[in-house]
Amino acid sequence: MTEKIRVLIADDSAATRENIRKLMEFHSEMMVAGLAADAAEAIAKAKELRPDIILMDINMPGMDGIVATEIITTEAPQTSIIIMSVQGEQEYLRRAMIAGAKDYLIKPFTGDELVQAVKQVYNNAQRRHNVLKFEPKTVEPGKIITVFSTKGGIGKTTIATNLAVALAARTGAKVGIVDADLQFGDVALFLNVLPQATIADLVRDGDELDEKLLDSYLASYSEQVKVLAAPLRPEQAETVTAGHLAAILRTMKNSFKYIIVDTAPSFSDTMLTVLDASDLVLVVSAMDLPTIKNVKLCLEIMESLGYTDDKFKLVLNRANAECGMDVREVEESLRYAFVATLPSDGKTVVASVNRGVPFVVSHPDTAVSQSIFHLARIIASGDWKAEPEPRGVIHKIKRLFG
C-alpha cells in the first residue's frame, strides 16, 4: 500500500484549519498529521511530527509564515512548505520562494487546487530525495559555449539552438542547452518542446543538485539534445541567482560534451557568472551602427574583465551587402575579426522559428545552415566527424532527428 502524504496545517484561524482538514478527508492518499495555530507551534510540530508537507499561512500573530518557513527549511529540511495567503502580489511570492517555500496558494482556493499543489510538491520532493548519486567520472568535463550580445533581437537564440543541434548531428555528442535569458527566454519555443519544468522549478526544488536530479528537469528535443528552459513567467527570474546558475553549469559539464547557453543582453550578476564560467563566449554582432556601437562597448568590458582573445570570438549575423557597409569595415571598427559570418536569410530563419524546427534540420543545404555547421566545426575541432557535404549532413540529420 502506498504511504499517505502527511500534511501539517498551520493557520491562526480555527475555521480555516477545519475547512482544509475536511477538504483533505476526501482524498485517501493524504492525511492530516497535525494542526498548528501559530508559527512557533508549526516549527515545534515540524520537528516532532516530520510531516511531508506544511500548509503555512503567511499572516499569523507574532512570527509570520515566511520567517517560520526559513526556520523550518533549515531545521526540518525533509519537510516541504506551501505558503497560503490572501495576498497575490509578486513581492509576497518572491519572499516566500526565497524563504524556501515550494509553492504559493492564494486564498480562497478550491479543493482541486489544494490537492494538485500538495501532490506536485510531494512528488518533486520524492524525486529529489530518491536521487541516486552518480559514480565519479573520469571523462573530460564538457565545454560551455555562451552566445551573448549586449543588443537584443540580434539572433542569439536562433544561433544557440541551431548550433546545439548541429553539434549533436556532426559529433554524435550529448548537447545541453541552458536558457539563461531568465525573463524572456524562447529556447523551448524555438525547438518546439513543451517543458514540464523550468530552471525556476529546479532551483526551488534542487536542494542537493546532482546530475540525476538535473536530468529530471530537462526537456528533450532529441536523444542527444536536452533543454533547461527559462522560467514561464518573467517575475520568476528573481528566484534564480548567480549561484544557482554557477552550480547548474558545473553539474551540466559532467553530463554533456557541449553546453550551449543562451543569454539576456545585459551585464547583470547572473550574466557575468555565466560569462566567467564559459569556455568560449560567442559575441554576436550585425551590420547596423547601433549594434556595432553596443558590441564595441561589450568587447571593451570583456577586455576590462581580463577575458583573453581565446575566451571570446565574434560572430556576424544577418550579413547583407545591401546594408551600406562591408564585413571588413565592421571588423576594423570592432578591432576583431569574425570567426563566422551568417548571411541574411529571413525567409529560411523566420519559417524555421515559426515551425519550431531548426533550419539546420529543415534546410541544411542553405548558406545560413552551412555557416552554422562551419561554426560548429570550429567549436568541435577534433570531435567533428568529416562527411561529404551537403549529402552527408542531410543523411546524418535525418537519421538523428527524423
Query: Contact 270/239 with Cβ under 8 angstroms?
Result: no
Query: Contact 371/159 with Cβ under 8 angstroms?
Result: no
Indicate whether 178 and 105 sit together in one domain.
Answer: no
Q: Is residue 300 part of a domain?
A: yes
What pLDDT does residue 288 have? 86
Indicate whether 120 and 267 sit together in one domain.
Answer: no
Neighbour order of strands in the sheet with 312-319: 219-220, 225-228, 175-179, 258-262, 143-148, 280-285, 312-319, 338-343
Indicate whether 125 and 187 sit together in one domain.
Answer: no
Indicate whether 261 and 393 sit together in one domain.
Answer: yes
> pTM of the full predicted structure?
0.66
Single-letter residue type at 245: L
Indicate whether 173 and 90 sit together in one domain.
Answer: no
Q: Is residue 219 part of a domain?
A: yes
C-alpha cell at 393: 549532413
Indicate whether 93 and 160 sit together in one domain.
Answer: no
Helices of type H across 7-110? 14-25, 39-49, 65-75, 90-99
Helices of type H across 356-390? 359-362, 367-380
What pLDDT does residue 276 have? 92
* Sign of the CA dihedral with 340 first, then 344, 348, and 354 last: positive
Indicate whether 121 and 167 sit together in one domain.
Answer: no
Q: What is the DSSP letter of 329?
A: H
Instruction: Answer with the one of 129, 153, 168 that is the final residue of a domain.
Output: 129
Q: How far apart are CA 145 and CA 142, in angstroms?
A: 10
Structural domain count, the chain = 2
Query: Contact 204/241 with Cβ under 8 angstroms?
Result: no
Backbone angles phi, psi at 347, to 5 degrees: -60, -50
First-to-last C-alpha distance (Å) of the chain: 42
Indicate whether 111 and 162 sit together in one domain.
Answer: no
Instruction: Answer with the one of 95, 129, 163 that is the final residue of a domain.
Output: 129
Q: How far apart are CA 242 and CA 251, in angstroms?
A: 14
Q: Is residue 137 part of a domain?
A: no
Q: How far apart are CA 176 and CA 390, in angstroms?
A: 25
Domain with residue 190: its CATH number is 3.40.50.300
Mapped onto helix, strand or coil, the DSSP state of residue 339 is: strand
What pLDDT does residue 94 have? 78
Residues 6+ apart with CB under 8 A from 7: 24, 30, 31, 32, 33, 51, 52, 53, 54, 55, 118
Query: Contact 177/226 with Cβ under 8 angstroms?
Result: yes
Instruction: Answer with the one of 76, 107, 129 that is the final residue of a domain.
Output: 129
Residues 24-48 as b or e (16 or more Cβ within 10 Å = b) = beeeeebbbbbbbbbbebbbebbee
Give the structural domain span for 35: 5-129
Indicate whether 125 and 150 sit together in one domain.
Answer: no
Q: How far apart are CA 168 and CA 346, in angstroms?
A: 24
Full pLDDT tens readout for the chain, 402 residues: 367 899 999 999 999 999 998 888 888 889 999 999 999 999 999 999 999 999 999 988 889 999 999 899 888 888 999 999 988 777 778 788 888 888 889 888 888 888 988 998 888 887 766 653 444 444 678 999 999 998 888 999 999 999 999 999 999 999 999 999 999 999 999 999 999 889 998 988 766 788 888 999 999 999 999 999 999 888 888 889 998 999 999 999 999 999 999 999 998 889 999 999 999 999 999 888 888 999 999 999 998 888 888 899 999 998 876 666 788 888 888 899 999 999 988 899 999 999 999 999 999 999 999 999 999 999 987 667 655 444 444 444 444 444
Q: Is residue 135 part of a domain?
A: no
Domain with residue 88: its CATH number is 3.40.50.2300
Indicate whether 90 and 160 sit together in one domain.
Answer: no
Q: Is residue 301 part of a domain?
A: yes
Indicate whether 119 and 218 sit together in one domain.
Answer: no
What pLDDT does residue 388 have? 45
Indicate whether 225 and 124 sit together in one domain.
Answer: no
State how far the alpha carbon of 156 is from the alpha carbons of 152, 265, 369, in Å.
8, 9, 15
What pLDDT does residue 329 have? 84
Residues 6+ apart with CB under 8 A from 332: none
